[in-house]
Amino acid sequence: MTGREPLDDAVRAWVRSGPEVASAEFVERTLRPIPRMRQRRSWRIALERYMQPMLTIGGAAAVVVVLIVGLGILALRPGSGGSITPGGGPSPSASRPPRPSFTLTVGGGTGAGTYTSDPTANLSMCTHLADGSWRLLYVGGTPSVNLDMLVGAGADQPAGASRVAVEVDYGPGYVRFDPADLRGGDVAGRSSASVTVDAGAGATTFTIVAATPDTSTGTDGARIAVDLAVTCPT
């Protein structure tokens, strides 16, 4: 048995049941393995923004996109969570784990303001990776926020404060910064960023302060301040 068979079976069962709307858990499990591109606005961010309104319209278009991604393009890992019931959602025994939360404040540039996480977002999850790094993926809210955060291993050490990379599409605004070159990086001096890590009982909190160009128009504009506080359940 290959690694993709359990999720393929779940997708087929979901389609056979004739659902009108894809559940949030189904979307999370299907999108989880999709990689992200480097050095440019992620195609994954565009895909997630494209899928989000379709889930509120109905199942037909969402089925097409999910099947193309889930069955035709990528070799997917098995999803986590409960079994799929004939109604298309997880079985009643499957409980959703605690979700991450964040507050994003952008000072200056396009879309300046404060944005907070929506507990009902279609995609919202933190992952503590085997190499010690942390990853947050989030899509949701009104206005929409598409956030991808990577905090590298050793960021809690004195010499590791810059080991943070963020790509965030917030309302009309967009920025990315990666001063430690964790995945494609910034040109030296383009951005500055620091992160503090507070590992508490039941949650790890990341406090990020950055200064980076406003890239909402596709090119680097005036430098803006970005403050991001993220809490990941543990």
Domain boundaries, the chain: 5-73, 101-233
| Contact (CB, 8 A) for 106 and 147 | no
Is residue 218 pLDDT above 70, yes or no? Answer: yes
Examine the pLDDT at 34 and tell me if it is beyond 70: no
Q: 82-106 pLDDT, tens per residue? A: 444 445 555 444 566 789 999 999 9
Kindly report the pTM of this predicted structure.
0.64
Distances (CA, A) of 181 to 152, 159, 192: 10, 14, 11
Are 73 and 97 a contacting pair, CB within 8 Å? no
Q: State the Cα torsion 127-133-138-144 to the nearest 10°.
A: 170
Given a contact cutoff of 8 angstroms between Cβ atoms, the answer to whether 202 and 233 are in contact is yes
- pLDDT, tens digit (0-9, with 9 covering 90-100), for 101-138: 999 999 999 999 999 999 999 999 999 999 999 999 99
Across all residues in the chain, what is the average pLDDT? 76
Please give the full DSSP string across 22-50, using - where no structure is assigned: --HHHHHHHHTT----SSSS-HHHHHHHH
Strand order in the sheet with 134-140: 123-128, 134-140, 145-151, 164-170, 173-177
